[in-house]
A = this chain, B = another copy of it.
């Protein structure tokens, strides 16, 4: 055994998908290491250590990535940080998701009306993935990462999406994630969550009352695609102290209205038309 992998133990643990290209996977891990590092970048040695590869290997990978502008080295004492090509690819990725272009104008309007940060998430196997964010005028900026799976039980968009699923599926997802507490207000009990989701279903919007972050309030609502299934959710985010308690409901109705607007653009049904039949006929 010459190469010898160094850091990783034995047969790579997963071995899930065969036919993977090792050096490419390693290069991507390198990108993620840089992404998770400090904004000013990291020197080569740190990267090699974190990657579990030799300096020469890491240099070759970093050079390759740099030549494609996925990474860039800031000049004095080469430190590597993310490159502009990632901005380009991320921008294209967002506009290729059909939702991106459709939702942006709606988010812009919503952000301006409510003066809050508004976002849209797609539904990725039941988990919310935020793909777009529009800040309101003068609104405080929150650190809200885009493009990664979030836990659904602690966000307005996530709960709005859960509320459209059968109870069985909700239990499955919650078993996977574990209902971890992110603040003292996070719902960590499956019974309470299901009760909350019933309320969400009835109202047509979900409220995250400091359940994801202390002092932050979110209101979210789902929209539907042309096939009638849940396509994603929008939500608005603000500082709880800035809002009188009674405004939550008003904001909820507003978000519900804008979500219906997106459903309409997608050729899907409005929320009320989906919920009504059973109750209305009784």
Chain A residues at the B interface, C-beta cutoff of 8 Å: 16-17, 19-21, 23-25, 27-28, 31-32, 35, 39, 59-61, 63-65, 67-68, 70, 81-96, 98, 101, 104-105, 108-109, 112, 122, 124, 129, 131, 134-138, 141, 145-148
User: Would you call B96 and A39 a contact (CB within 8 A)?
Assistant: yes
Instruction: Please report the C-alpha to C-alpha distance between residue A102 and residue B82 in the assembled complex, in whole angstroms.
Output: 18
Q: Apart from A23-B23, A39-B95, A83-B93, what 5 extra A-B contacts exist at CB < 8 Å?
A: A35-B88, A86-B92, A88-B146, A108-B135, A109-B138
User: Would you call A64 and B146 a contact (CB within 8 A)?
Assistant: no
- Can you name 7 A-B residue pairings with CB atoms under 8 Å? A17-B67, A21-B27, A23-B24, A28-B64, A35-B96, A84-B131, A109-B137
Q: Which of A28, A83, A112 has the most CB of B within 10 A?
A: A28
Residues in chain B near residue A95, CB distance under 8 A: 39
Residues in chain B near residue A134, CB distance under 8 A: 134-135
Residues in chain B near residue A131, CB distance under 8 A: 84, 87
User: Would you call B61 and A145 a contact (CB within 8 A)?
Assistant: no
User: Would you call B61 and A21 a contact (CB within 8 A)?
Assistant: yes
Quickly give the copy total for this chain.
2
Residue of B nearest to A28 (CB): B68
Instruction: Please report the C-alpha to C-alpha distance between residue A153 and residue B129 in the assembled complex, in whole angstroms.
Output: 39
User: Would you call A60 and B20 a contact (CB within 8 A)?
Assistant: yes
Residue of B nearest to A112 (CB): B137
Residue of B nearest to A94 (CB): B87
Residues in chain B near residue A141, CB distance under 8 A: 101, 104-105
User: Would you call A17 and B63 a contact (CB within 8 A)?
Assistant: yes
Q: Which of A23, A92, A135, A136 has the most CB of B within 10 A?
A: A92
User: Would you call A89 and B19 a contact (CB within 8 A)?
Assistant: no
Q: Which of A24, A32, A61, A64 has the most CB of B within 10 A?
A: A24
User: Would you call A96 and B84 a contact (CB within 8 A)?
Assistant: no
Q: Distance in Å from the Cβ of A33 to the closest Cβ of chain B?
A: 12
User: Would you call A68 and B25 a contact (CB within 8 A)?
Assistant: yes
Residue of B nearest to A92 (CB): B35
Q: A24-B24, A63-B19, A93-B82 are known contacts. Are A135 and B105 too (CB-CB below 8 A)?
A: yes
